[in-house]
Amino acid sequence: MKNVELKGIIPPIVTPMNDDDQQSVNLEVLRQQVERQLAGGVHGLFPCGTNGEAFILSTKEKEAVIETVIDQVKGRVPVYAGTGCISTADTIYMSKRAEQMGADVLSIITPSFALASQKELYDHYVAVAKHVNIPIVLYNIPARTGNKLLPETVQALCRDVDVIMGAKDSSGDLENLKAYIRLTQELPKKVAVLAGNDGNILNCLKLGGAGGIAGRANLYPATVASIYDKFVAGDIEGAEAAQASITGIQRAMKLGNPNTVIKLATRMLGNPVGEPRRPFNYLCPEGIEVLKEVLAEDAKMGLH
């Protein structure tokens, strides 16, 4: 198995799109965003995550996005490819393709729409893992998928499957994150738990977690990366200040779909990433005004 240290701030990079009728994927701007993130000092990149709108990309588009990010990164940081699909067969296909293209890690979201038992989720991940030989990070985001990956299931999968080396918890439930960390720390192998909720990055680190997959790094890669860098350097006060500084955008997220807000904000900061793919592209007028206010406040604080 490829030896990859799972740690730090890994942005789920937005997927830029052209302003044409099909909102086709803009791979050239994607390359620019990769360079922008790397210049900010992030510790990995995650194409085809929730903020990358993987849920609305075709298989060919996902392959193109993953391949482009891997090619542009050129080994400078690990690439965590999002390969989770609803069916086990499709997840196996995407995971094998990502490994073939040179991904370092697979981030595999739980199946969605239909309610799955913990046994079905366990069996799903075990089946996928048999077909790849790079680390897998489990991805729990029950508000979006309808399926919660329980801490005990995470522990069992990390215990029983060699290539399952981490878990991302985007539940927003701090107690669930604590349980992921506590139960995986009982295992003989090292397991990386990553916060999927940006507000819990520092909490995760303080509890013994490895970092965060942070959507807000699309806006301010250097600021978000500094949460991790300051923490590992022993500058807890600095890490706390950096963590507190990225809270403003939450005001806008209360008024719309969070990843829609992130992409719109990324565009408003001068990055030509296009709009979110229809129909998930609307933020109410109040939300737009709040977003403008937040970005202005962030600029005065020097977020970048």
Residue 224 pLDDT level (bands cut at 50, 70, 90): very high
Q: Can you give the pLDDT at residue 1?
A: 84
Active-site annotation holds for 139:
yes
Cβ-contact 43, 79 below 8 angstroms: no
pLDDT in tens, 285-296: 999 999 999 999
Mean pLDDT for all residues in the chain: 98
Active-site annotation holds for 168:
yes
Return the percentage of the chain with pLDDT > 90, whole number: 99
* Distance of alpha carbon 261 from the chain centroid: 15
Catalytic one of 139, 180, 220, 228: 139
Cα–Cα distance for residue pair 61/45, rounded to 1 Å: 17
pTM (global) more than 0.95: yes
Domain 8-246 has CATH 3.20.20.70: yes
Residue 2 pLDDT level (bands cut at 50, 70, 90): confident
pLDDT in tens, 69-107: 999 999 999 999 999 999 999 999 999 999 999 999 999
With 0-12 / 13-18 / 19 or more C-beta atoms within 10 angstroms meaning exposed / middle / buried, residue 117 is exposed
Domain ranges of the chain: 8-246
Cis status, amide bond into 285, omega within 30 of 0: no
Cα–Cα distances (Å) from 86 to 79, 115, 137, 145, 230, in that order, read 22, 11, 17, 9, 38
Catalytic one of 7, 62, 148, 168: 168
Q: Give which of 2, 87, 95 is closest to 48, Cα–Cα.
A: 95
